Chain A
Amino acid sequence: MIVRIMGEGQFRLDEDAVKRISALDDAGVAAVEADDEDAFHTAFEELLDIIRKEGEHLGDEEIESSDVIVPPADTSFAEAAADFSGEGLIPD
Chain B
Amino acid sequence: MAGMAGRMSTVIKAKISKLLDRAEDPGETLDYSYQKQLESLQNVKKGIADVVTAKKRLGMQATKLEQAVVKLDTQARQALAAGNEELARTALERKQFAQTELQSLDQQVAELQSQQDKLIESQKRLSTKIEAFRTKKEVIKAQYSAAEAQVRISEAASGVGEEMADVGLAMQRAVDKTENMKARAAAVEELEAAGTFEDLTQLGAGQDDIDRQLAELGAGGMVDDDLAKMKAELGMAPSPAPGELESGEPGEAKA
Interface, chain A (partner B; CB < 8 A): 4, 6-7, 9, 18, 21-22, 25-26, 28-29, 44, 60-66, 68-72, 74-75, 80, 83-84, 88-92
**A65–B160 Cα gap in the complex (Å)?**
8
Assess A61 versus B131: contact at CB under 8 Å? Given A69-B12, A72-B173, A90-B165.
Answer: yes
B2 near A63: Cβ-Cβ < 8 Å: no
Type the 1/0 row for B8-20, where 1 means its CB is closer than 8 Å to any CB of A: 1101100100000
Assess A68 versus B165: contact at CB under 8 Å? Given A6-B170, A63-B129.
Answer: no
Q: What residues on A are CB-neighbors of B131 within 8 Å?
A: 61
Q: What residues on B are CB-neighbors of A7 within 8 Å?
A: 118, 121-122, 166, 169-170
A6 near B125: Cβ-Cβ < 8 Å: no
Q: What residues on A are CB-neighbors of B129 within 8 Å?
A: 60-61, 63
**A22–B168 Cα gap in the complex (Å)?**
25
**A44–B159 Cα gap in the complex (Å)?**
25
Interface size on B, residues (CB 8 A): 36
- Among A65, A74, A84, the most chain B Cβ lie within 10 Å of the Cβ of A65
Of the A-B pairs whose beta carbons lie under 8 Å apart in the complex, a sample of 6, sorted by A's number, is A6-B8, A7-B169, A62-B132, A69-B9, A71-B5, A90-B11
**Cβ-defined partner of A90 (8 Å) among B6, B125, B169:** B169
Number of A-B contacts (CB under 8 A): 99
B170 near A72: Cβ-Cβ < 8 Å: yes
Q: What residues on A are CB-neighbors of B170 within 8 Å?
A: 6-7, 72
Q: Which residue of A lies closest to B131 (CB)?
A: A61
- Among B5, B9, B11, B172, the most chain A Cβ lie within 10 Å of the Cβ of B5
Tell yes or no: B133 within 8 A of A by CB: yes
Q: Which residue of B lies closest to A29 (CB)?
A: B3
Q: What residues on B are CB-neighbors of A72 within 8 Å?
A: 169-170, 173
Q: Which residue of B lies closest to A7 (CB)?
A: B170
